[in-house]
Amino acid sequence: MDLYSQIIINAVEIAKDAVVKIDVLKKDKQGKKTPAGSGSGFLFSSDGYLFTNSHVVNGAEQIKLSFSDGREHEAQLIGEDPDSDLALLKTDATGLVTAKLGDSSGIRIGQLVVAIGNPYGYQHTVTSGVVSALGRTLRTQTGRLIDNVVQTDAALNPGNSGGPLIDTDGQVVGVNTATIRGAQGLCFAIGINTATSILPELIQEGRVRRAYLGLMTQTVDLHSRVIQFHHLKNRRGLFVVSVEGGSPAEKAGIQEGDFIVAFCDCNVESSDDLFRLLTKDKIGSFQYITVLRHQQKLDLRVTPVENNTKAKTPSR
């Protein structure tokens, strides 16, 4: 057997039994519970916690899990965060196989990755590809912006949502979330570091309170001349693709084409860095955000608001 195939097989063997099929039931107009879609999820703790996408289980009256060994159990929704399209479920099933969580900050463009899920109900379907880009910001069909998204060409289809994106060691580096309709090879996963960073709040409060700036960004490498000229410690920064109208970012004077290199006196080299800094204690409190614009380094004063104050586009 060729080396490439063996690498994929070994990775899948490590993670596949932690992947579950999720079936959702919702009440119809007559109040009867009826099937309302399906997706994927993966167990990460022996006491029954699992991650999936918020859009898979949002509004569910009943959630059913199907395991790789044929068992079926119900699950409860512990919490969800639509802004990152993540949800935390829990099952009382025993004898669980769990996936090992990796580090999404360590993945690189071109790295081999594998997606496991249940597209169109075909359980434990495996697809492989590479990491195509990092630090993307993805706008969902509901208008929300999801931060720190990993782009991959590992094929995803309806039903893959919520399943794991794993590396060649079988460790989960992302939660598969979306594709772009009509495009080929454009698939996306939420970095697992985003999921683990909000896990405590999902368990304790069932939701995530997060500060909102209103930016759409992309992670880029900074030119060595720029780094030297401005005496930066950063090697990368966030390129501002767009600014939401009426947002804190617009009011602060942030413009399309700026490069964000710091927030709250902390270096920002990725969407994940900014995501972690936009905690609930920043809401309503002015902060300084450092941007590069043409030949200038500017410290702009911005006052984040709570993410749910914007009905359709709560974002960074």
Instruction: Name the residues annotated as catalytic.
Output: 55, 85, 161
- Give the integer Cα–Cα distance in Å for 141 and 138: 10
Instruction: Report the sign of the C-alpha dihedral through residues 20, 176, 185, 7, in that order.
Output: negative
CA-closest candidate to residue 274, choices 199, 192, 227, 214: 214
Instruction: Report the sign of the C-alpha dihedral through residues 253, 266, 202, 90, in that order.
Output: positive
Is residue 100 within 8 Å of 171, Cβ to Cβ? yes
Query: DSSP labels for 27-73?
Result: E-TTS-EEEEEEEEEEE-STTSEEEE-HHHHTT-SEEEEE-TTS-EE
299: helix, strand or coil:
strand
The three-state (H, E, C) secondary structure of 184-247, written as one string: CCCEEEEEHHHHHHHHHHHHHHCCCCCEECCEEEEEEECCHHHHHHHCCCCCEEEEEEEECCCC
- Give the integer Cα–Cα distance in Å for 254 and 237: 14
The two tokens of residue 161 are 């949502």
